Amino acid sequence: MSIDMAQFHQVFFEESFEGLETMESGLLNLDKGDVDEEEINSIFRAAHSIKGGSGTFGFTNVAEFTHIMETLLDEMRDGRRTITDESLEALLHSVDCLRDMLSAVRDDTEVDEEKVASSRKELEVILSEETAASEPSGSPATSESVEVSSVEAEVAAKQLGWHIVFTPHANLLQTGNDVVRILRELDELGTLAAEADFDNLPNFDALDAENLYISWDLKLTGDITIEQLDDVFLWVDGDCDLAIMPIMDKTPVVAATTTESAPAEAEKTPEVEAAVEAPKPAAKKAAPKKSAAKKPAASASSIRVGIDKVDDLINMVGELVITQSMLGMLGEDFDMSRVDKLVDGLAQLERHTRELQESVMQIRMLPISFTFSRFPRLVHDLSSKMGKKIEFKMSGENTEVDKTVMEKIGDPLVHLVRNSCDHGIEMPEDRLATGKEEHGTVELEAYHKGGNIVIEIRDDGKGLDASKLLEKGIEKGLVTPGQKLSDSQIYDLIFMPGFSTAAAITDVSGRGVGMDVVRKNIQALGGVVEITSELGVGTTITIRLPLTLAILDGQTVAVGDEVYIIPLMSIIESIQVDPSMINLVAGKGETFKLRNEYLPIVRLYETFGVPSVSLNELTEGLLVVVEGDGRKCGLFVDDLLGQQQVVIKSLEANYRRMEGVSGATILGDGSVALIIDIPSLMRLANKH
């Protein structure tokens, strides 16, 4: 029987990336000095799972790197090491490095060995600090010692072997395992020194011959990999407590700078001289290989579904089977006296189909916490980088949204949160000067409202200065001098290409690239983004998105013999045209006046080349006022047919890409209706 390892790899990577999220959020919640036992244990378990899975699938470099992290975490949870800012930052860097390593292994691309080596050294230096601190500090310097005050030195750590604390559970012998066999296998790997601990041995009258009461402290020296140790203890996994730590030989290595007596000292210690003069391997200096040329391996996308959702789906299928059976029996011997039962059966079929549709859609719904989980780390890094004190709050993480929407909203949210930290929150001294607390607050909230998901990004920073934004807009030619704009229209200038309020260009912001892309990405999802702000108080950015991209609430409209779907979210209102409202503007075609605003008219029958029953007379049809890309227009149609939910089918996948159309759907009578893409339709109409 052949085994498809790809499916196991996929599960491993999914679980590993989830474990990394757990580790990152846990590390951000840890307070230096104090050990939260529950938090540190969850971080340790995540690292241990990644290490075990990596070793099982032969990802040796990942397993070895994770083992060093695990060693540091183990010392923290046992109380042997206090939690410091340095150790937390090193572990956070290691999480980033481990994420890159796993991504490279998954996509079959090159690992950045230089980054891995740097992160590994950072961990090893922290692990070596305890040993260095335990050295006698008051011993007098001899004539053969190098003065530390004038010599830069580092510790060259070499692994000699492994220190293993093996504590079998009392019932280990009852599982068929033999400790002697385990010790014998370890002895075959290298040189083993074993010390038994009998502290847990009960009195003779309380002994149970089938139980094990002894633990072992083992020191195994030799060139042995962690995978070899994992193989030995594989069969007792879950039946023992196991701690594996590297035994390091730390030798001081003199760096380039010495005192005047250094040459003489180097003569007395030739091994140090060799360490200084020996050139580093070229591989260490070489830049990491570029992996862009190699195409990442394709991987199937998957989601985890709660068993309750699967049960609901199975129940609905069962109801459908019953309804189908009932209708089948009616069809076998049907006469007009049974019409009422047929009508009832069809109504029941419709109800079950709708419930089945909702159940299937629920399977694709995932908590938005999968997207929100990246932001505590993002804000933590940005606040450290910019010297600001920022408290980050999240709420509504369990709000569910379609998987596709969630995947595509991540990057826009990153831009918005970064802008809140950079442009919104002031420096601590500036906040204190204005009477605020030195800690600024950035909040991220998600909730359902009116069939949509609403995401808000709030900050209590300096807010937006509408007058300065207007000046900037005039300076860049986006606003005509003297033009009257509301505050919301002025705030919308931020989403214009090339618009930026940053005084200087940094690696965080200031190039005018980002906010225009944010708006386009959100609109591509069928959503809208709005800004409200109060100078000196703060800013709120609100995003409204559909819960799913698979089903659309739409308005069906008739143009001649054709039926089109207009997304309800894009519709402002529908009106009958008064001839006095129509104007012809040179170079801009037809416009109509709606509450002191002139909007262009788009005749759908002209744009799509279909005959209209309204005989080209605007007064005989209807105008549907729609908005897209921040612009409004009136779509001229023959009639409004009704509102309904439609299932979106990809036109590009089944036919070809068409400008002005985002997809298609199949109506109840079996005919196909095109779904209109409002921004694309406006661009198409301007070409005519």
Q: Which residues does the annotation mark as catalytic?
A: 48, 70, 419
Residues of 209-231 as b/e, b for ≥16 C-beta within 10 angstroms?
A: eeebeebbebbbbeebebebbbe
> 257 with 151: CB under 8 angstroms?
yes
Distance in angstroms (rounded) separating the CA atoms of residues 410 and 400: 14
DSSP 630: T
- What are the CA-CA distances from residue 105 to residues 46, 100, 101, 110 (Å)? 19, 9, 6, 8
CB 126 within 8 A of CB 86: yes
DSSP 324-376: HHHHHHHHHT--GGGHHHHHHHHHHHHHHHHHHHHHHHHHTEEETHHHHTTHH
- Tokens describing residue 113: 């060995």
- Residues in a beta bridge with 366: 401
Tokens found for residue 80: 């042997």
How far is 445 from 15, CA to CA, in rounded Å? 26
Tokens describing residue 142 = 């001899």
* Token representation of residue 355: 């419930």
Give the CB-side neighbour count of residue 27, counting CA atoms within 13 A: 29
From residue 335, alpha-carbon distances to 328, 331, 349 in Å are 14, 9, 20
Backbone φ and ψ of 542, nearest 5°: -115, 130
Q: Which of 302, 283, 279, 301 shows the shortest CA–CA distance to 111?
A: 283
